[in-house]
Structure 1
Amino acid sequence: MSRLLLVHAHPDDETLTCGVTMAHHVARGDEVHVLTCTLGEEGEVVPRHLAHLQGAPGDPLGPYRRGELARALAVLGVTSHVLGEDDRGATSRWRDSGMAGTSAADHPQAFAAAPLREAATAVARVVARLRPDVLVTYDAGGGYGHPDHVRTHEATRTAVLGLPARDRPSRVFEIRTPRSWAQEDRAWLRERVHPGRHGEPPGRTLQLLDDAAPYPVGVVDDAMVTHEVVDPTAVARQAAALREHVTQLTVLQTLPGDGPVVPFYALSNDVAARLPGREGFARVDPATWAPWPLDPARSEGHRWGRLTG
């Protein structure tokens, strides 16, 4: 059995980007932990009946999303940790910084503005306590550029590099998506998703992206992705966990007659997104964070599976 630790910025990030990986490794008997750096207080609330939580005095959305996170990870069989949470009533040390350019970045507890050494020390304490065999977090661009994702990468990288060699995870990965997968997913969505016909919430209209729309920075050339977890059987568990993140997204289904009925989802921007049953990663050296040397025996275009080797 191996122990995995995934470090994420906000509740729901873990299941959106690594839900298949977590479900797959739990099913294999591995022990999986998630460290969440903020409670997502700046999240845009999707359901009308919960809209009063968004931007309300006292940040009630944060504790609400903490509950969503706990329920989602329980569905996946994963242990939850929040950075700075303790038994004295503190729910987190830092706050969601909001999207780039928003006023939330000026909050005194904004995670993106946290002193790097302080944030890294907090992450390092969790890593040293759990002693994971595998650690996963974002790339330097934070997957899609959110300031908290970038800070999560910086804090995690600094934490790992500052640990004694005996306390470092032996395998460290950044989350990456091969460009060919992203292209396939958009084509699949255009074929299988019909806006207005999937029981969307009132007032919501699904949007589909075409090939001309830019991809997030976490979508990279296929050759940069060294590992993949491919497990279509884990999608049902991932979708069940995502349904617990009700404030942030809507899980829908494709229509009968268009092939097997399968789940997909939309965030508050109403852009339809696939749950393809596969997730990609790039391994880095835990002592330097340099890209891990590729195995010369690896055949062209082949990626290793499972993160535990």
Structure 2
Amino acid sequence: MGTIVSFHAHPDDESISSGGTLARAAAAGHRVVLVFATRGELDAAVPGVLEPGEQLSVRRTAESYASAAVLGAQRVEFLGYTDSGPMGAPSNDAPYSFWRANVEHAAKLLAVILDEEEPDILTTYDDNGGYGRPDHIQVHRVGARAAELSAVPVVAQVTINRDWMTRGVRGVTEAGQAPEGWEAPREVPTFGKPESEITHRVDAVDFVDQKRASMRAHASQIGPEHVLLAMPEPMFAMGMGVEFFIVDPVPNPASAPEVFEELFTPLRR
């Protein structure tokens, strides 16, 4: 069996971006390890979720373990940096924020875990972090360097397939299947990547229930009214049941890890 280490900026990122892939891997008997750079303490909590005096960082830590249990992950680690907040915020420059972290030092921290686990695959984010958030961009940088230090065979950058999303929204709208009052999301050029830059997909439609449950585990961030959880089940399965990755370089099929060949399907043959 193989091992996947999945590196993320904040708790709940693992659920939304790659929860289906991780659940599918775990269900097949592969080892899944979650690593978070921060505890996401700067995000606003869903109103009424926290107990009086409860710290958000403590709650989000607990939610990470609950999500891991749903997905089948067997280990959860935190690198210990603080949340940097959105791009341009004063918190970007706060001491110990992940955005300010020395990439080499942070990569060595991650490499300790990678050396222990000897993973076949490390998942990170694309070079824009999916949508330009500082800590997400830093995950790309730190993950790439850590993979070099630990000689990880495959680095899979999770991303958003901009073209897939556009086609899906158009199809739902034209078929009249959109919920009443639902508005299609506005296309943002910096959101995700065009399909031409994406190399692989993971089909995880059979694991969308686990993905949704993993998202629900992050109750301080993803409430029942959240746009993703409010999606009808068929729409959720269509939009969230396939996850996309950029793998560069693509491993030679003759030497590629079995878990990679099992889970990842090339977009182009």
> What is the TM-score when the length of structure 1 is the normalising length?
0.73
Residue 203 of structure 1 corresponds to: none
Contact 1:185 1:276 in 2 (8 A): no
Residue in structure 1 matched with residue 178 of structure 2 by the alignment: 192
- The residue number in structure 1 matching 2:59 is 64
Which one-letter code corresponds to 1:43 in the other structure? D
Displacement of 1:231 in angstroms is 2.4
Equivalent in the alignment of 1:282: 246
Secondary structure, aligned partner of 2:4: strand
CA drift of 1:223 comes to 2.6
Is the CA contact 1:73–1:241 (under 8 Å) kept in the aligned structure 2? yes
Deviation at residue 52 of structure 1 after TM alignment? 6.5
Report the CA distance shift for 1:16/1:187 in structure 2 as closer, same or farther (over 3 A): same
Matches within 5 A, 1:188-227: 191-195=177-181, 208-210=183-185, 213-218=187-192, 220-227=193-200
Aligned residue type for 1:23 = A
Q: Distance in 1 between matches of 2:41 and 2:231?
A: 31
1:236-267: CA deviation from partner (whole Å, max 9, x where unpaired): 11001111111111343556xxxxx4475xxx
Using the TM superposition, name which of 36-45 and 75-84 deviates more: 75-84
Q: Counterpart in 2 of 1:148?
A: 135
Residues 1:126 and 1:156: Cα distance change in structure 2 (over 3 Å): same
| Closer, same or farther: CA 110–130 of 1 in aligned 2, 3 Å | same
Q: Deviations over 1:124-148 (max 9, x none)?
A: 1111111101111001111111100
Query: Is the Cα–Cα contact under 8 Å of residues 137 and 175 in structure 1 kept in the other structure?
Result: yes
Matched, 1:306 2:257: no
> What code does the residue aligned with 2:164 have?
W
Q: 1:233 aligns to what?
A: 206
Q: TM-score by structure 2 length?
A: 0.83
* SS of the residue 1:249 aligns to: coil
Deviation at 1:234, TM superposition (A): 0.5
2-structure distance, mates of 1:13, 1:277: 15
- Residues 243, 37 of structure 1: alpha-carbon distance in 2 compared, 3 angstrom cutoff: same
Matched letter for residue 118 of structure 1 = H
Which secondary structure state, in structure 2, belongs to the residue aligned with residue 192 of structure 1?
A: coil
1:172 corresponds to which residue?
A: 155
Distance 2:252 2:197 in 1: 10
1:92-103 correspondence to structure 2 within 5 Å: 93-103=80-90
Give ranges in structure 2 of 5+ residues lacking alignment: 254-260
Name the aligned partner's letter for residue 194 of structure 1. E
Residues in 1 aligned to 2:84 and 2:203: alpha-carbon distance in whole angstroms: 33
Cα distance in 2 for residues equivalent to 1:62 and 1:179? 32
State how far apart, in whole Å, the 2-side matches of 1:69 and 1:30 are.
19
The within-5 A match list for 1:30-69 is 30-50=30-50, 60-69=55-64
Measured after TM superposition, the shift of residue 122 of structure 1 is 0.6
Q: How far apart, CA to CA, are the structure 1 residues paired with 2:128 and 2:48?
A: 32
Distance 1:294 1:113 in 2: 36
DSSP-derived class of the 1:135 partner: strand
**Is structure 2 residue 4 aligned with structure 1 residue 18?**
no
Q: Do 2:122 and 2:147's aligned partners in 1 also have CA atoms closer than 8 Å? A: no
Identical-pair percentage: 29
* Cα separation, partners in 2 of 1:30 and 1:123, compared to 1, 3 Å: same
- Tell me whether 1:83 sits opposite 2:56 in the alignment: no
Q: What's the CA shift string for 1:155-186, capped at 9, x where partnerless?
A: 1111222x2xxx42212111123333111343
Structure 2 residue 222 is the aligned partner of structure 1 residue 249: yes
Q: Does structure 2 retain, via aligned residues, the 8 Å contact 1:253–1:263?
A: no
Length, aligned pairs only: 252
Gapped runs of 5+ residues in structure 1? 85-92, 196-206, 256-260, 265-272, 286-291, 296-303
- Where do 1:266-277 residues align within 5 Å? 275-277=239-241
